Amino acid sequence: MKLYGIPNCNTVKKARTWLDQNGIGYEFHDFKKKGIDSVTLEHWLTQLPWEKLVNRAGTTWKNLSDEEKGKVVDSRSAIPLMIEKTSVIKRPVLERDSTILALGFDEPTYRKLFDK
């Protein structure tokens, strides 16, 4: 299982703490250090719409120019933005066997996923 995110993100911290406290093993993929590739994003976009993966309520999106925001109209146009500015990806992304289990962190969802 893999958890994608940024270490200093509060939501990622909550997810990591919950997983650790419940003894659930995972590999952490740090967007800031490792980035993200188009193949992974393309696969994620077969599971979720770009509007869910791109965090349009976050600071990174809000700091984009209107021109940059206007260029993101579909999955194909969202990929370059997510590669260039990984902080725009909603996080954390919890994945197992290339399947997204959860986007963001919600304790009841995690409890249900892991029968805790």
Q: Which amino acid is at 116?
A: K
pLDDT score of 31: 96
pLDDT in tens, 96-116: 999 999 999 999 999 999 997
Task: Output the pLDDT for position 45.
Answer: 97
Q: What is the pLDDT of residue 116?
A: 78
Q: In what order do the strands lie in the sheet with 99-103?
A: 27-30, 2-5, 93-96, 99-103
List 9, 12, 81, 82, catalytic entry: 9
Fold that domain 2-114 belongs to in CATH: Glutaredoxin (3.40.30)
Q: Taking the C-alpha atoms of 63, 67, 73 and 78 in order, what is their torsion angle to the nearest 10 degrees?
A: -50
User: What are the domain boundaries of the chain?
Assistant: 2-114
**Which residues sit opposite 3 in a β-bridge?**
28, 94
pLDDT given for residue 105 in this prediction:
97
Taking alpha carbons only, the member of 79, 105, 80, 76 closest to residue 93 is: 105
- On average, the pLDDT of the chain sits at 96
Q: Does residue 50 register a pLDDT over 90?
A: yes
- Report the pLDDT averaged over residues 40-49: 97
- Whether 87 shows a pLDDT value over 90: the answer reads yes
Residue 9 appears among annotated catalytic residues: yes
Structural contact between residues 104 and 90, judged by C-beta atoms closer than 8 angstroms = yes
pLDDT in tens, 56-71: 999 999 999 999 999 9
Question: pLDDT per residue over 21-31, tens digit each?
Answer: 999 999 999 99
